[in-house]
């Protein structure tokens, strides 16, 4: 029986896609190596677990999961509108912020247009762009020796924008490098961009940035109608497993996104948990302080072992081992520590290491010391 070549039937942009590679889960490592007491420092999850307020709220609605969730997310939007001083019609809810990034590409890109983003950017940007068949314009990042190692070169990104550009993606802080942009330079960049080009500022890690380096672009929404800011509850709020994020924009852009947003794309426990977590300021502060302590410990480990890293305002550190990092990754796995190789980002000599608790960082210090000594 002849078989149809279904690959050839797929949209051209989809044919060229390479699937997103998630971090290795604990269960997989347990199966592979038969070891226990594993710590996962691979996916930038909150080591303190979920927001207690969020967890309690999610548990409370489980008895009603036979019912569809509120498709409009009315209560969560109300809480977010108050938090960001915007109106509910400026908010688009997503199944994680990943979802709204894809919605932006689907809503504004077609094969005759292009999107601009930096080298070493979040992997979802090129995937979302490629799926639409639009053209990629990846701009080289700054070098290791710059003031912002591996960070966005805003001057070069502005030069890459042309008459067919529809989207610009910028993560601040950036994943996987942890580099960041200050408010003045980012504001000046957005001000220089033509109004028909939508500038997307991805702030998934903003809550981990120190106050003196925290650049909240949502404060500029009334000034720039072409600005979209995306946020998530997966990182500092500890709700990664529930998948809920959102975009803030002017109502006209939100209207486009909500036309293509899937019905009920955020489930009931996620809506309830996110709404409760918005006000859990004590947990956010504890998460921030734990991250600061763990970051200092990992940086000290790098200094002691002579390892270069990118200064980070996120909850991870990109560490350069000066050689193929996969043997180090494998040795760490056998020590029960999961980190993230980033060769798929074009950084084969680096590992991205999530900041854990002080106990996690101490264990990582001992493991790296043994591995590099050997």
pLDDT tens-digit profile of 278-309? 999 999 999 999 999 999 999 999 999 999 99
pLDDT by residue (tens digit) across 29-85? 778 778 888 999 999 999 999 999 999 999 999 999 999 999 999 999 999 999 999
Has residue 2 been placed in a domain? no
Listed residues 238, 256, 279: the one ending a domain: 279
Has residue 367 been placed in a domain? yes
Helix and strand numbers, DSSP H then E, in the chain: 14, 13
pLDDT at 23: 67
Pair (133, 211) in one structural domain:
yes
pLDDT at 34: 80
- State how far the Cα of 137 lies from the Cα of 40, in Å rounded to an integer: 34
- State how far the Cα of 47 lies from the Cα of 357, in Å rounded to an integer: 6
Pair (195, 331) in one structural domain:
no
Pair (36, 99) in one structural domain:
no
Q: How many CA atoms lie within 13 A of 273 on its CB side?
A: 26
Closest-CA residue to 104 (of 240, 205, 232, 201): 201
- State how far the Cα of 8 lies from the Cα of 59, in Å rounded to an integer: 45
- State how far the Cα of 105 lies from the Cα of 166, in Å rounded to an integer: 9
Has residue 122 been placed in a domain? yes
Dihedral angle sign, alpha carbons of residues 339, 243, 206, 162: positive
Is the pLDDT at 169 greater than 60? The verdict is yes
Pair (121, 182) in one structural domain:
yes
Dihedral angle sign, alpha carbons of residues 84, 79, 355, 204: negative
Q: How far is CA 76 from CA 53, 235, 269, 351, in A?
A: 14, 18, 12, 36
Has residue 17 been placed in a domain? no
pLDDT at 35: 82
pLDDT at 15: 77
Closest-CA residue to 75 (of 237, 242, 279): 279
Range of the domain at 231: 52-279
Pair (239, 320) in one structural domain:
no
Q: Determine whether 312 is exposed, middle or buried from the number of CB atoms within 10 Å of its CB (0-12, 13-18, 19+).
A: buried
Pair (83, 193) in one structural domain:
yes
Q: Kindly report the length of the chain.
A: 374
Pair (204, 292) in one structural domain:
no
Dmax (CA) for the chain in angstroms is 66
Is the pLDDT at 17 greater than 80? The verdict is no
Q: How far is CA 337 from CA 120, 329, 333, 360, in A?
A: 24, 9, 5, 9
Is the pLDDT at 164 greater than 70? The verdict is yes
Q: Determine whether 25 is exposed, middle or buried from the number of CB atoms within 10 Å of its CB (0-12, 13-18, 19+).
A: middle
Is the pLDDT at 10 greater than 70? The verdict is yes
Has residue 44 been placed in a domain? yes
Contact predicate 181/215, CB 8 Å: yes
pLDDT at 65: 93
Mean pLDDT of 240-263: 96
At 291, which helix (H) or strand (E)?
helix 281-305
Q: What is the mean pLDDT of the chain?
A: 94
Listed residues 256, 279, 302: the one ending a domain: 279
Mean pLDDT of 205-222: 94
Residue predicted with more confidence, 16 or 245: 245
Pair (159, 182) in one structural domain:
yes
Contact predicate 206/97, CB 8 Å: no
Backbone angles phi, psi at 66, to 5 degrees: -75, -15
Contact predicate 170/186, CB 8 Å: yes
Has residue 82 been placed in a domain? yes
- State how far the Cα of 351 lies from the Cα of 144, in Å rounded to an integer: 15
pLDDT at 9: 79
pLDDT at 2: 56
Has residue 326 been placed in a domain? yes
Is the pLDDT at 22 greater than 90? The verdict is no
The number of domains in the chain is 2
Has residue 6 been placed in a domain? no
Percent of the chain with pLDDT over 90: 88
Q: How far is CA 262 from CA 87, 94, 222, 303, in A?
A: 21, 9, 27, 47
Listed residues 237, 261, 279: the one ending a domain: 279
pLDDT at 104: 98
**pTM for the structure as a whole:** 0.93
Pair (112, 186) in one structural domain:
yes
pLDDT by residue (tens digit) across 93-128? 999 999 999 999 999 999 999 999 999 999 999 999
Question: 248: domain CATH number?
Answer: 3.40.640.10
Pair (171, 226) in one structural domain:
yes
Pair (89, 204) in one structural domain:
yes
Instruction: Identify whether 176 is preceded by a cis peptide bond (ω within 30 of 0).
Output: yes
Question: 333: domain CATH number?
Answer: 3.90.1150.10
pLDDT at 77: 97
Extract the runs of DSSP E, i.e. beta strands, from the chain.
39-40, 91-94, 114-118, 135-139, 165-171, 198-202, 227-232, 245-248, 308-309, 316-320, 337-338, 340-341, 350-354
Contact predicate 209/234, CB 8 Å: no
Contact predicate 15/7, CB 8 Å: yes
Pair (272, 299) in one structural domain:
no
- State how far the Cα of 233 lies from the Cα of 100, in Å rounded to an integer: 13
Mean pLDDT of 347-374: 96
């Amino acid at each position: 029986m002849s078989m149809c070549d279904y690959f050839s039937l797929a949209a051209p942009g989809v044919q060229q896609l390479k699937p997103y590679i998630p971090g290795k889960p604990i269960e997989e490592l347990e199966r592979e190596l038969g070891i226990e007491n594993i710590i996962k420092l691979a996916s930038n999850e909150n080591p303190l677990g979920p927001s207690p307020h969020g967890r309690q709220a999610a548990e409370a609605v489980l008895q009603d999961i036979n019912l569809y969730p509120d498709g409009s997310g009315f209560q969560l939007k109300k809480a977010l509108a108050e938090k960001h001083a915007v109106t509910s019609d400026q908010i688009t809810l997503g199944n994680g912020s990943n979802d709204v990034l894809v919605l932006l590409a689907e809503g504004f890109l077609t094969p005759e247009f292009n999107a601009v983003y930096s080298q070493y950017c979040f992997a979802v940007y090129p995937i979302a762009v490629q799926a639409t068949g639009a053209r990629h314009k990846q701009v080289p990042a700054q070098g290791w020796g710059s003031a912002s190692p591996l960070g966005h070169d805003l001057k070069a990104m502005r030069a890459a924008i042309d008459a067919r550009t529809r989207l610009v993606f910028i993560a601040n802080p950036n994943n996987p490098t942890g580099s960041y942009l200050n408010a003045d330079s980012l504001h000046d960049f957005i001000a220089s961009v033509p109004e028909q080009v939508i500038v997307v500022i991805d702030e998934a890690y903003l809550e981990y940035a120190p106050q003196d380096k925290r650049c909240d672009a949502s404060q500029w929404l009334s000034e720039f109608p072409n600005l979209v800011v995306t946020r998530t509850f997966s990182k500092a709020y500890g709700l990664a497993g529930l998948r809920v994020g959102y975009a803030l924009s002017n109502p006209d852009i939100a209207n486009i996104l909500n036309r293509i947003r899937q019905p009920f794309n955020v489930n009931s426990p996620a809506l309830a948990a996110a709404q409760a977590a918005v006000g859990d300021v004590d947990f956010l502060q504890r998460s921030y302080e734990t991250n600061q302590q763990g970051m200092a410990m990992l940086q000290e480990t790098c200094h002691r072992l002579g390892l270069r890293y990118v200064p980070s305002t996120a909850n991870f550190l990109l560490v350069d081992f000066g050689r193929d990092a996969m043997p180090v990754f494998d040795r760490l796995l056998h020590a029960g520590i999961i980190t993230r190789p980033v060769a798929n980002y074009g950084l084969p000599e680096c590992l991205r290491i999530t900041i854990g608790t002080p106990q996690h960082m101490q264990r990582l210090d001992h493991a790296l010391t043994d591995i590099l000594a050997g």
